[in-house]
Amino acid sequence: MKKLNYKELKSLWIDFYKAKTHAQIPSASVVPENDASVLFINSGMHPLVPYLMGESHPQGKRLCNIQKCIRTGDIEEVGNPNHLTFFEMMGNWSLGDYFKKEKIAWSWEFMTGKEWLNIDPNRLYVTCFEGDEVSPKDTESAEYWLNQGVGKDHIYFLPKSENWWQLPSGTGPCGPCTESFYDTGKDSCNDNCNPSCNCGRFVEIGNDVFMEYIIENVGEKPKLNKQRNVDTGFGLERNLCLVNGHKSVYETELFAPAIDKVKASADPGFYNEQAARIICEHTRAAVIMIADGIIPSNKGQGYVLRRLVRRAVLKRLEINCHLETIFDNLIDFFCGYLGEYYEQVATGVENIKFVFNQEKDKFFKTVNQGVKEFEKVIKFVHKDISQNSVFSGKTAFRLYETYGFPIELTKELCEEKGLSINMEEFTIAKQKHTLASQTANTGAFKGGLADTTGATTKLHTATHILHSVLRSIYGFDLHQKGSNITPERLRFDFNLDHKMTADELNVVEVRVNEIIAQDLDIIVEEMNVENARLKGAIGVFNSKYGDVVKIYSITSPQFSSVEFCGGPHVNKTSELGAFKIQKEESVSAGVRRIKAVLN
């Protein structure tokens, strides 16, 4: 195996696929731009959904990149020592171009080639889809693996739970996959031990998804898509760990120096490695989220960010890490290497610290209030411990829900007082709450592709108009700082040094509506970046765009909007209806947010 550092592994991936005539595209934001059905971009294919469904990509039919991804799953699980909430996915795609034969040959070459990962072929195992009523047993992929020299006894056929890939929203492009694994040489856990086993013998290297199906609505069976795509994902951290012979991603250069720093400033009597890992992992994920415009809040992405920051703060308390600047130091460390690849990180370090520290300080206050609340309960309810030594589970849940007290902390405080907690009551209260919020979330996130077409397309075009109107009023130093569209509303963040007055909001609204009423055409063109710039095109995150780009223009004698964009848009502004601003608020220092709807 070839030892590689972070930069070398990234370059290796891109070099390999460029040599196979793939165009490198930049990573998209971790916040989905036109998909309200999920909170985060969770894979490399996710931002490419329109192209996997058939829209033409300006960079062609063969693409590769390294995409920032967030997978939190059940928030309660966050912090499991082997789990990363933020990771980078090395990916490549065929958009209706090559299929299984070429892809399997290339994955094999990348894994085993001397100039590439140089993994011992005898250590490799692969899995293929065993088939179901929609998609047949994937003997074709198995044949291609056999042709590469993989032994029959190294190929397993597994069910949909293991060898099928689709988005968590339950809609969109999908299909069977073939996965590659490295045999660590550990003993098998039993006679049926296979690559899908979690016993630790096999480590997943990556997967190739053959996306020839599509699910149009949640719950429907996949249908054949109009084009056959390939979507490959190799987890960067995992592969870095593997090629360098580490046992955990936390031993790699991406974490080890940060963990050492935490350890050096913790109280040895309280230190534990898992807490240090959680502190580092959550801080790193928070860096990426804040850089992409997320701020802590009580819902959506902001809620996940809040949980991560709070958990990191609690873990710091747990190990008594005394260094005041520990989080600033960690943020500097993570921004150091991530900033080399992500412009938003490189230019956002001070803002990342500001947003992180604001949440951290607020949480400290809340925790202190929680401790006071706890003391009150002790004083009034448990005055005589011999009479009442069981702390109410409902109260423990209230502390958890209102003050962010994890149950472990309440347990510790109770133990100090000689009390036990009614855990059954706690679990019931928590389950009731989880059920209630899941029901609410299902409402909030239902939708998927069907919803994202009509309503969000209109809001997307309206966002472009709003952006240009704001620039025409406040000057060309005004830039987009973030954007998010749900089927109900648009949200647009931009730099401005003051709160907008009612008059200012009125002017913006009137101007946007004037443009809509003029019934202007929305023109789409493909051109190279230089020509696009000459045309005056503005783009939010320059690094997101490759050589050939799509430009959307809306122009009249009094108005001009020219933006880099992947679409989709309406054809004429009159399709939009009436534009109405619902809210204007502050996001962070010098950044304002407008929420608006189309009626």
Q: Return d(Cα 71, Cα 73) in angstroms, integer.
A: 6
Instruction: Return the number of the residue (65 or 283) whose C-beta is nearest ligand GLY.
Output: 65
Which residue from 29, 37, 43, 166 is in contact with ligand GLY, where contact means CB under 6 A?
Answer: 43
**Do residues 24 and 65 touch, judged by C-beta distance below 8 A?**
yes
- Residue 209 or 335: the one with the smaller Cβ distance to ligand GLY is 209
User: Taking contact as CB under 6 A, which single stretch among the options 135-143, 193-201, 225-233, 402-410 is the one that binds ligand GLY?
Assistant: 225-233
Q: Which residue has the tokens 């795609």?
A: 93
Amino acid at 345: V
CB of residue 299 vs ligand GLY: minimum separation in angstroms?
Answer: 26
Residue 77, token pair as written in the block: 């699980």
CB of 440 to ligand GLY, least distance (A): 28
Residues 58-87 as x/- pattern, contact with ligand GLY by CB under 6 A:
------------------------------
Q: Report the residue number, 180 or 513, with the smaller CB distance to ligand GLY.
A: 180
Q: What is the CA radius of gyration of the chain?
A: 26
Site string for ligand GLY, 355-394 (x = CB under 6 A): ----------------------------------------
Closest CB 18 distance from ligand GLY, rounded Å: 19
Report if residue 180 touches ligand GLY, rule: CB under 6 A.
no
Q: Is 202 in the site for ligand GLY (CB under 6 A)?
A: no
The answer to whether 174 contacts ligand GLY (rule: CB under 6 A) is no
User: Which residue's CB is nearer to ligand GLY, number 165 or number 545?
Assistant: 165
Give the helix/strand (H/E) hosting 163.
helix 160-163
Q: How far is the CB of 360 from ligand GLY (least distance, A)?
A: 32
DSSP H or E run through 433: helix 423-445
With binding defined as CB under 6 A, does residue 207 bind ligand GLY?
yes
Q: Are 138 and 128 in contact (CB under 8 A)?
A: yes
The greatest distance separating any two alpha carbons of the chain, rounded to the nearest whole angstrom, comes to 84
> Least distance to ligand GLY from the beta carbon of 1, Å?
22
User: Of 93, 47, 88, nearest to 71 (Cα)?
Assistant: 88
* Joined tokens for residue 592: 């304002």
Residue 252 touches ligand GLY, criterion: CB under 6 A: no
Q: Identify which range of 192-200, 231-239, 348-356, 591-599 contacts ligand GLY by CB under 6 A.
A: 231-239
Choices 24-32, 197-205, 226-234, 348-356 (CB under 6 A): range interacting with ligand GLY: 226-234
The residue (of 41 and 462) whose beta carbon lies closer to ligand GLY is 41
Give the dihedral sign, CA 520/525/529/535. Answer: negative
User: Would you state the structure tokens that stand for residue 48, as one six-digit string?
Assistant: 């490419």
Nearer to ligand GLY, 47 or 370 (CB): 47
The span from the CA of 339 to the CA of 348, in Å, is 9
Residue 111 Cα distances to 2, 211, 251, angstroms: 10, 22, 22
Closer by beta carbon to ligand GLY, 89 or else 286: 89
# residues near ligand GLY by CB under 6 A: 9
- Rule CB under 6 A: is residue 165 a binding residue for ligand GLY? yes
Nearest residue (beta carbon) to ligand GLY? 233
Find all residues with CB under 8 Å of 380, minimum gap 6, and list them.
none
Three-state DSSP at 442 gives helix
- Closest separation between CB of residue 575 and ligand GLY, Å? 35
48 scored as a contact of ligand GLY (CB under 6 A) = no
- Cβ neighbourhood burial of 344 (10 Å; 0-12, 13-18, 19+): buried
Instruction: Confirm if 134 and 224 have CB atoms less than 8 A apart.
Output: no
Q: Is residue 209 close enough to count as binding ligand GLY by CB under 6 A?
A: yes
**Tell me, what amino acid is at 388?**
N
Closest CA to 377 of 428, 425, 413: 413
At residue 270, what is the residue type? F
Q: In the window 108-147, what residues touch ligand GLY (CB under 6 A)? A: none
Nearest distance, CB of residue 69 and ligand GLY, angstroms: 7
Question: In whole angstroms, what is the distance from residue 569 CA to residue 461 CA?
Answer: 5
Helix orientation angle between 349-381 and 326-338, rounded to the nearest 10 degrees = 140
Tell me 22's DSSP state. P
233 part of the interface to ligand GLY, by CB under 6 A? yes
Q: Which of 165/356 has CB closer to ligand GLY?
A: 165
Give the binding site for ligand GLY (CB under 6 A): 43, 45, 89, 165, 207, 209, 231-233
